[in-house]
Amino acid sequence: MTMAGNTEADVLPPVSSSLLVEHGRAKVNLTLRVVGRRTDGYHELESVVAFADCADRLTLTEAPELHLRAIGPLAEACGATADNLVLKAARLLAERVPGLKVGEFTLDKVLPVAAGIGGGSADAAAALRLLAALNGLSLDDARMREVALATGADVPVCLASSACDMTGVGETLLPLDVPELPCVMVNPRVPVATKDVFQALGLRNGELLVGVTDVIQAQAWPAKGASIADWVTALKLVPNDLEAPALRIQPAIGEVLSSLRASDGALLARMSGSGATCFALFSNSGEAGRAAQKVSADHPQWWVHAGTLS
């Protein structure tokens, strides 16, 4: 992606600093192809990404020092706050923006961690949006995009939090007109480390997984106004290449997929990202809601959310 330079247009009037609020929406990989592994060890991906209506909540109060406090039902699962991507993103931005105003972040953590839905990346992106508002920075500022990618591969897509086709190592984003997709998201409450899944995939540096012919004949996604059925038909043609290696690492993913695929009205069920969260798409919210109720009743220990992706 070409980086735009910093111009006067990148500077916006700062907003009131009393209490700023943003949400880190869960990211769902509707498809995920691993094109190959670069010689530097990074993996090239192609993924259709949408965002759910469930989210962590992040607030920022201006203060002289940068600080993060985690609260909420899954706060302990975040680990040490010093390692949190919220602080990493803020520090990287401060290195690039002289005199950056910072403050105290409070993260209300409700999304599962190490779950394949970009929770940490969504929180980091929310932090960047908050700092942009506090400092009058545009999200199109080249420094914002540079920091997003330096923080993590999923942070650029989470910065916009809108449906797109993501390629490269996460830096190239093509907006897509995806209709609201009724869904059920399920996580068996077992963490799966992304690095372990890529290690199980087993690509060597410089090795391609997708052939040149596959790249040339890449899927054309439905145009604006396409139906849910049109999107499901297109999505079925492109898998998640990380599903098989993730299943070898964590068999519980198979149980989740079986439960979702057995749900009445499920049109498509697969894993998101590197797991262990899986999702199923439905024709309407009623079917999704009933499916979520049954999954929750059958597996009360699982995290279950019925909602929409967009």
What's the pLDDT at 214? 57
How far apart are the C-alpha atoms of 108 and 123, rounded to whole Å? 10
**Of 27, 56, 88, 141, catalytic:** 27
The Cα-based distances of 247 to 197, 251, 278, 295 in angstroms read 9, 5, 12, 20
Average pLDDT, the chain: 92
What's the pLDDT at 2? 31
Q: What is the pLDDT of residues 246-263, one digit of tens each?
A: 999 999 999 999 999 999
What's the pLDDT at 263? 98
What's the pLDDT at 209? 86
Question: Average of pLDDT values for 173-187?
Answer: 98
Question: Average of pLDDT values for 282-298?
Answer: 98
Q: What is the pTM of this model?
A: 0.91
Is 27 labeled as catalytic in the residue annotation?
yes
Looking at this protein, which amino acid is placed at residue 282? Answer: F
User: Residues 125, 11: contact at Cβ < 8 Å?
Assistant: no
**Residue 62 reports pLDDT greater than 90:** yes
Residue among 93, 100, 125, 120 at smallest CA distance from 109: 120
Residue among 147, 161, 158 at smallest CA distance from 100: 147
What's the pLDDT at 133? 97
**Of 56, 141, 154, 241, catalytic:** 154
Is 101 labeled as catalytic in the residue annotation?
no
Question: Average of pLDDT values for 143-169?
Answer: 97
What's the pLDDT at 79? 83
**Residue 241 reports pLDDT greater than 90:** yes
Question: Average of pLDDT values for 103-108?
Answer: 98
The band of 12, judged by pLDDT with boundaries at 50, 70 and 90, is low
- 133 CB burial (10 A radius; 0-12, 13-18, 19+): buried
Task: Tabulate helix, strand, coil % of the chain (nearest 5).
Answer: 35, 25, 40
What's the pLDDT at 15? 58
**Residue 88 reports pLDDT greater than 70:** yes
